[in-house]
Amino acid sequence: MPDFHLNMGSYPETRLRRTRRNDWSRRLMQENRLSVNDLIWPLFVCEGANIREPISSLPGVERLGISQIVEAVGEAVELGIPAVAIFPATPPDKKTPECEEAINAKNLICRAVRAVKKAHGDRIGVICDVALDPYSSHGQDGLVREGYVVNDETVAMLCRQAIVQAEAGCDIIAPSDMMDGRVGAIRRALDVAGYLDIQIMAYAAKYASAFYGPFRDAVGSAANLGAGDKRTYQMDVANSDEALREVALDISEGADSVMVKPGMPYLDIVRRVKDSFGVPTFAYQVSGEYAMLCAAAERGWLDREKVMLESLLAFKRAGADGILTYFARDTAKLLSQA
C-alpha cells in the first residue's frame, strides 16, 4: 500500500490556518474591530436625590437620580464613550391617557438633559427617545382612540415632545414610536423652531419583539401595557423586505441615521440595511439580549466578558456603525486595557 501521507505533495495548496497560527497574524488579518467609538450607553433616570435603584431583570443596571446620571455620564466621558441615551422612569402619577407630561419642558428627561449638558457640555452626545409610552397610563407609544393607537394625532404630540427635548439640550432625537411619517414631521418641526443641527436617529426597523421585557420593567411601562401589545405599529417579526421600506421612508424624510431594534436576532436586517443604503446604521442590543447573557454568565454557563465582546463584534461584522448596549461601560473599560 502506498504511503498516502508521502504522496500528498503540497495538498492542500490553500491553507487558511496559516494566517491563524500566531496572534500577530490573527490581529493583522482581522476584518472587523470593536472600539469605544462604537458604543452608546443607555441610562435610566428616575426622580429623587442620590437614588440608585437596582433593576432586577437587568443585572448591574440601575435607575439613577439626576445627580447620579450626571456622574455616570462623566464616567462615560472619561472612558471615551461618544454618546449616552437617557430614558425616563416617569412617576406613575405623571402618566395619563393623553401623555401630557411628554411635552412638559420641566419633565424628568428634560431636567436630566439640562443637568448633563451643564456639567459636560459637548464632550458627549445625548440621545433622547421620542415616544409616548413612558408617559402613557395605557403603556402604548401613541394616543389611543377607541382602542386603537392613532397615527396623526400621535405625530403631532411627538413633534412637541421633540421640541422640548431639543430646548433642554438633546443632541439626537430618536423617534422610537414607529408612527408613519413622524420623521419628516419632526424634522420640519425642529427646523421651524431653529434646531437645524439637531440630528434624528430613527428607530427605522423596530420590531414587535418579545425581547423588550426588562426595559419595560426599567421605565415602569410593563404594568401599564398589561396584556396589550404594539403590533399595530411595530413591525412583524417575520418580515424582512418591509424593513427596507421603513428605512427608505425614514431616510427620505430626513433621518440622519437609522436603527434596527432588537439587535442580535435581527443581524440579517442590519446587513440588508447597510448594504442597501450605506447610511449610518445602528443596532440596539436590547434588554432581553443583555439579560439572557448576564443570566447565563451568573450561572457559570458562559464567560461574561467573552460573550459580551463576541456579541458586540457580531454587530460590527453585520455592518453596524454603532451599538446601543448596556455593556457599554464594561466594554469600554476592557477595550482601554487591551
The pLDDT of residue 3: 57
pLDDT exceeds cutoff 70 at 158 = yes
Residues 285-311 have a mean pLDDT of 97
Known binding residues for Mg(2+) are 246
| 174 and 202 Cβ atoms separated by less than 8 Å | yes
Q: What are 11-45's pLDDT values in tens digits?
A: 788 889 999 999 999 999 999 999 999 999 999 99
Identify whether the C-beta of residue 159 lies closer than 8 Å to the C-beta of residue 142.
no
User: What CATH number matches the domain at 34-337, 3.50.30.30, 3.40.50.300, 3.20.20.70, 2.40.10.10?
Assistant: 3.20.20.70
Residue ranges of the annotated binding site are 246
Would you place residue 220 in the very low, low, confident or very high pLDDT band (cuts 50, 70, 90)? confident
CA distance 246 to 230: 17
Catalytic residue numbers, as ranges:
206, 261
Query: How far is it, in rounded angstroms, from Cα 205 to Cα 72?
Result: 29
The CB density around residue 300, as the number of other CB atoms within 10 Å, is 8
With cut-offs at 50, 70 and 90, classify the pLDDT of residue 226: confident
- The confidence score (pLDDT) of residue 1 equals 55
Task: List Cβ neighbours of 193 (8 Å cut-off, separation of 6 or more).
Answer: 163, 166
User: Rounded CA gap, 93 and 90, in Å?
Assistant: 8
